[in-house]
């Protein structure tokens, strides 16, 4: 998965603000969501993101994996991220 080309974000110690310029929407992310988005921008795959979240925030890997999966699903639903194979076809 990768960040959609129509998305801009800014991050700080409180989280992130994400702007969807295609749909004129703004989203606020907490610090964990911001970190997941940063890792995604660094081309981390979902399992590696879960490992990093587990390590950084001291939660079990199963919990981190479920939370990351749910969060990425929400980002995809709102068209803020897209699957890499889909991106290659366009």
Number of H helices, E strands in the chain: 4, 5
Per-residue confidence (pLDDT) for residue 89, from 0 to 100: 45
83: confidence class by pLDDT, cuts 50, 70, 90: confident
User: pTM of the prediction?
Assistant: 0.85
Domains present along the chain, CATH in parentheses: 2-85 (1.10.10)
Percent residues over pLDDT 90 in the chain: 82
- 20: CB partners within 8 A, 6+ apart: 4, 6, 7, 26, 27, 78, 79, 80
């Amino acid at each position: 998965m990768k960040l959609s080309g129509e998305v801009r974000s800014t991050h700080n110690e409180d989280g992130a603000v994400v702007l969807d310029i295609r749909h004129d929407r703004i989203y606020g992310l907490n610090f964990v969501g911001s970190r997941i988005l940063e890792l995604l921008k660094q081309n981390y795959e979902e399992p590696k993101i879960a490992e990093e979240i587990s390590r950084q925030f001291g939660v079990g890997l199963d919990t981190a994996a479920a939370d990351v999966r749910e969060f990425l699903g929400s980002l995809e639903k709102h068209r803020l991220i897209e699957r890499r194979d889909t991106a290659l076809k366009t």
